[in-house]
Amino acid sequence: MVRISDGRMSGTAAGTIVLHVTPESAIGGPLAIVRTGDRIRLSVAKRSIELLVSDDEIAARLAALPPREAEPDARGYRKLFLTTITQADEGCDFDFLKATRTVATVPGNKL
């Protein structure tokens, strides 16, 4: 069994699993256009995944996606989450909490 997801998964302990496809389908990521019956080529060795659908069909599906509507009334934590949370490949955290790498230097030592 192969499972492909743009979210969190628990309870699956066997088979090939592709997690955290980004960007998420909720914001128009690639999983948003996959349909039941589509064939997908997955190569673990090549670290690749390919939707076996024509370029024209992919373009048509992308064009048919409903526009993502802003939530002008969102406030508080919901607004903060919607406007600043990062995708899974970036840690699923608030963008303003992203660590910045600094290297401390000690006089006379090379790091």
Is the pTM higher than 0.75? The answer reads no
60, part of any domain: yes
Its domain, for residue 92, covers: 2-97
| Residues, the chain | 111
Encode pLDDT of 68-107 as tens digits.
777 778 889 888 888 888 887 787 788 888 777 666 566 6
The pLDDT value recorded for residue 34 is 92
The answer for residues whose C-beta is within 8 angstroms of residue 28's C-beta and 6 or more apart is: 62, 65, 68
28, part of any domain: yes
41, part of any domain: yes
The pLDDT value recorded for residue 68 is 76
Quote the number of domains for the chain: 1
pLDDT at 111 over 60: no
106, part of any domain: no
Window from 12-16, 32-36, 89-93, 97-101 with minimum mean pLDDT: 12-16
Cβ–Cβ < 8 Å for 87, 22:
yes
9, part of any domain: yes
Catalytic residue among 5, 10, 25, 54: 10
Percent of the chain scored above 70 by pLDDT? 78
Alpha-carbon separation of residue 86 from 8, 23, 49 (angstroms): 14, 9, 22
Q: What mean pLDDT is reported for the chain? A: 80
Active site (annotated) includes residue 10: yes
44, part of any domain: yes
102, part of any domain: no
84, part of any domain: yes
